[in-house]
Structure 1
Amino acid sequence: MARTYEVRTYGCQMNVHDSERLTGLLEDAGYVAAADGSTPDVVVFNTCAVRENADNKLYGNLGHLAPVKAKTPGMQIAVGGCLAQKDRGEITRKAPWVDVVFGTHNIGSLPALLERARVQEEAQVEILESLEVFPSTLPTRRESAYAAWVSVSVGCNNTCTFCIVPALRGKEMDRRPGDILAEVRALVAEGVSEVTLLGQNVNAYGVEFGDRQAFSKLLRACGEVEGLERVRFTSPHPAEFTDDVIAAMAETANVMPQLHMPLQSGSDRVLRAMRRSYRRERYLGIIDRVRAAMPDAAITTDIIVGFPGETEEDFLQTMEVVAAARFSGAFTFQYSIRPGTPAATMPDQVPADVVGHRYERLVELVNDIAWDENKRLVGRTVELMVAEGEGRKDAATHRLSGRGPDNRLVHFDPVVSTRSTTAGPTTAGPTTAGPTTDGSADTAPIRPGDMVTVEITRAAPHHLVADGGVLAVRRTRSGDAWQARTAAPAAPVVGLGMPKVGAPA
């Protein structure tokens, strides 16, 4: 019988995408996904090292698995990702029941390492210092039938004092534009309607081959891919955010009016200590220009509270920038020491109780602003891409969920409104009415990947609600792809066969 597997993912979108590759590699090697509630033959942890609790979470989970493995002959445990790259042999010292440790640069080695560990009956630790083959050459089993991640680069050339990622992911390496677009076209051919371009500093794309406008050119080129409805990207760096990118966003129909741009701090003094090569004035200037070009753009950010030496005045300057920027949401973090980073040994570490109090004040302000911004959308009509995995709003209402062009999450009533209309045909496929109130079979159900038009009826800080029913449904190729995958969940993995990394000729 085929051996079963489970991949557990922690951290950023890059890790989520890497886990899709790990899944693809395992299925390509003959493994099958473990059924819910069963004990897998192989458990793979794809780890993050950005925050302190990542270590605690990993070793806690490994501890829970130790007695399970002791009772399960042949079970294997593998640890990969950023924490594996950082801790290396430390993992097998702390958790000697781990069979395989692999790093960020050699995820393609996982099946071979598992087999070697099984045959030799000893742990295998393989950590490469640099990338040999761009990960997109590896087989991939995507989590979604309708949306996909596409890496444009790996690594980072910045030296932020709080961040350990450059030490773990290496220097930035860019893919050839033709390879990226070939992957995008292949994904669209499979039914994907939305792609998110990924990079540690995605808008620095092109630095390796000396084209400062490479990223804006890539956005415009994505606009020419027939059948691609939505393009997003994450995460750009403010220091490299140029006006040609804003123009490309505004002028390319399928590039969505959404921007996630980390702020980290609103204090110039703290930004300098962080080695963030921009200041608050530049950051707010970018936001002003984005909103001038795209008035409805939703802007989100990352903010760190309690960086070493942060004073109350510094913190209040961050609050000022948040109030001025009017973010539609923010990922807020309490600073935690990461060994190996310059900030870890800086003087004036802020006491935990002070950090916690500031964090609560920041979260309250962020939520208040996000709620106000969401309230402005009540009464507007928006087209949503129906989502899978973001869940029903609650069992009582049976709402479904979807994302608007600005990436806001909307929970909607799937019943067709009496005001519903039929949209004209599009390249994405024919339109159809949604389900009736009595669930009769003469109308097709709304599927993840389909597009629905709704009117926003209520706002909350982190989502919107549309309880007036669906005004229009557009059945798409992505919905067809989701339906086909659901009917045949064991469909073979697709390897994209991208060439290896390197500057274009």
Structure 2
Amino acid sequence: MNYNVGLVSLGCDKNRIDSEIMLSKLSKKGYNIVNDEIQADIIIINTCGFVNSAKEESIDTILEMAQNKKYGRCKSLIVTGCMAERYKEELLKEIPEIDAIVGTGNYYEICDIVYKTLNNEKGIVKTDNLNYNFDYEERILTTPNHYAYIKIAEGCSNRCSYCIIPKIRGNFRSRNIDSIINEAKYLSRKGIKEIILVAQDSTMYGADIYGKKMLHELLKKLEEIDGIEWIRVMYCYPERITDELIETIANSKKICHYFDIPIQHVSNKILKQMNRASTKEDIVSLINKIRYRIPDAVIRTSIIVGFPGETKEDFDELKEFLHSYKLDRVGVFTFSPEEGTIAANLPNQIDEETKNERKDILMKIQSEISFEKNKALIGEIVDVIVDGKVKNNKYYGRTSKDAPTIDQQVLIDANDDVINIGEIIKVKINKALTYDLMGVVYHESCK
């Protein structure tokens, strides 16, 4: 019998890659991959367990999928990923429909686990393989056909006081360069034009296996691959962005002038309590350096508000920083007290109402900055990678300054042009929205 497998992937793009590898392994074993859980004999939920909102989404999804064991054709319900690693006993106890728990470092065993559950083995737990070695694996891409993520490292050896990741993903460990290059070539052969490098700390890449940070060298080798047109780097810790890395990006025609730098805060007091390695002065110096060397660089960051002990003065410092440095893309998150972290037990916890008020204030400031920056682009001609079609001659895409799913889009009027999804085209911007742009296909003859 050919069984159908449905997989729901939650959380980050590193999790997505694990899901894609599992799908490939199962497909090679003869399982049919389906997108509708109603048609699935085996349902896998690859969970996120990073913050409270992610945990709630994971639980809601598991409970929803569990209904298919009661009323549908599902014979096997398997929970994988970060939440499985972190809460294995609780999940099995509270949701008896779950047949197997698979941790972050055990997804390579998915075929054997599926086989066992189909043969009536229940309560299977495979976890605690945190520091597993990983290498290039074929995968079934769940992204559109023109972009894909590449995981260049796994785990994290930073010990930010609010973060649980090292306990559920293990210590930082890089893949070797040849493995990454082989994967990028494989993706290029499949028609991928944009590759997005991800890790918990991309700027640490290579330090553990080569004795020095090697992200800039990796990028130079990736540039040589035919077919790859855009290379994007995510999750760059500010203290590890070297002059060599900035120069490599500045001198490249393929590497996007896009810096994803999670600063989290700018109050030195709060940064110290977060156990971050940067100071406000370091962060400001880095921003100035990047903008001086690469004037068109886009800087994206994430900020945590409501960290224990964050005073009005600390928050005012954040507001002033946003007003002064006008970063291009900003995500604001409220502090989530994660059990097992130092920050969860710190005194002077902030109430939820105050956290949310501070988040709203920062997002209002950033929305005004974003709108002004977008208005300045009206009349500009930009390269846009086409991500999809809305209807008739209307499409949407992104500039090289925007990552998929998290940054803004360009809404494109193609007029009578025929546009292919994944194509990189010229677009003239004619309207600005707060977080999106609008434009028309541009031809040289339009001059």
Return the letter of the residue paired with 1:32.
Answer: N
Aligned pair 1:169/2:169, yes or no? yes
Q: Is the 8 A contact 1:452 1:471 kept in 2?
A: no
Give the corresponding residue for 2:421.
448
Q: How many residues align?
A: 440
TM-score (norm 1): 0.83
Task: Provide the secondary structure at the position in 1 that maps to 2:130.
Answer: coil
Mean alpha-carbon deviation: is it higher for 340-349 or for 132-141?
132-141
1:362 and 1:90 mapped to 2: Cα distance?
Answer: 36
Partner in structure 2 of residue 405 of structure 1:
400
Task: Determine the structure 2 residue equivalent to 1:185.
Answer: 185
* Deviation beyond 6 Å, 4+ runs, structure 1: none
Shift of 1:210: 4.0
What is the CA-CA distance between 1:299 and the residue it aligns to? Answer: 1.1
**SS of the counterpart of 1:387?**
strand
Partners of 2:60 and 2:193 in 1: CA distance: 38
Gaps of at least 5 residues in structure 2 are 403-407
Hey, what does 2:199 align to over in structure 1?
A: 199
Q: Deviations over 1:402-427 (max 9, x none)?
A: 111212521101224xxxxxxxxxxx
Q: Which residue of 2 aligns with 1:419?
A: none
Whether 2:443 is the aligned partner of 1:471: answer yes
Q: 1:343 to 1:239 in 2, by over 3 A?
A: same
- Any idea what SS the aligned residue of 1:137 has? coil
Displacement of 1:69: 1.0
> How far apart are the structure 1 equivalents of 2:218 and 2:50?
29
Contiguous gaps of at least 5 residues in structure 1: 417-433, 436-445, 474-505
Letter in 1 for 2:361: R
Give runs of aligned pairs for residues 18-167 of structure 1, distance below 5 A.
Answer: 18-36=18-36, 38-134=38-134, 136-137=136-137, 139-167=139-167
Q: CA deviation at 1:472?
A: 6.9
Using the alignment, how far apart are the partners of 2:327 and 2:118 within structure 1? 51
- Structure 1 match to 2:434: 461
Match of 1:479 in 2: none
Offset of residue 53 of structure 1: 2.2
Contact 1:108 1:138 in 2 (8 A): no
Change (3 A) 1:459 1:207: same
- TM-superposed CA distance for 1:202, in Å, is 0.2
Q: 1:333 to 1:398 in 2, by over 3 A?
A: farther
Counterparts of 2:352 and 2:393 in 1: how far apart (Å)? 42
Alpha-carbon separation, structure 1, partners of 2:8 and 2:103: 15
- CA distance, structure 2, for counterparts of residue 282 and residue 162 of structure 1: 21
Query: Residues 144-187 of structure 1: CA distance to partner in whole angstroms, max 9, x if unpaired?
Result: 32111111111111000111011111111111112211221222
Quick one: distance in 2 between partners of 1:33 and 1:470? 40
Give the whole-Å Cα distance in 2 for the aligned partners of 1:413 and 1:3. Answer: 43
- % identical aligned pairs: 26
The CA RMSD over aligned residues, in Å, is: 1.9
1:31-430 → structure 2 map (5 Å cutoff): 31-36=31-36, 38-134=38-134, 136-137=136-137, 139-388=139-388, 392=390, 399-407=394-402, 408-416=408-416
CA offsets 1:18-72 (integer angstroms, 9 cap, x no match): 2221222222222223254734212211111111122222222333333331123
Superposed CA deviations along residues 330-358 of structure 1, whole A, max 9, x for unmatched, are: 12111111111111111100011111111
Deviation, 1:135, is 5.1
TM-score by length of 2: 0.94
SS of 1:456's equivalent in the other structure is: strand
Distance apart, 1:213 and its partner CA: 4.1
* Residues 222/35 of structure 1: CA separation in 2 closer, same or farther (3 Å cut): closer
Instruction: Tell whether the 8 Å contact from 1:454 to 1:472 is kept in structure 2 after alignment.
Output: no
Letter of the 1:52 partner, please give it. N
Q: Structure 1 residues 472 and 132, CA, compared in 2 at 3 Å: closer, same or farther?
A: farther
C-alpha change, 1:19 and 1:238, in structure 2 (3 Å) is same
Select between 220-229 and 256-265 the one with higher mean Cα deviation: 220-229
Q: Could you list the per-position Cα deviations for residues 349-405 of structure 1 after superposition, in whole angstroms to 9, with x for gaps in the alignment? A: 0011111111110110111111111111111001111113xx63xx6x852111112
User: Does the CA-based 8 Å contact 2:135-2:175 persist in structure 1?
Assistant: no
- Contact conserved, 1:99 with 1:114, CA < 8 A, in 2? no
Q: Give the residue type in structure 2 aligned to 1:136.
A: Y
> Residue 405 of structure 1 aligns to which amino acid in structure 2?
S
Letter in 2 for 1:406: K
Look up the SS of the partner of 1:455 in the other structure: strand
Question: What's the offset of the Cα at 1:103?
Answer: 0.7
Distance in 1, Cα, partners of 2:331 & 2:159: 21
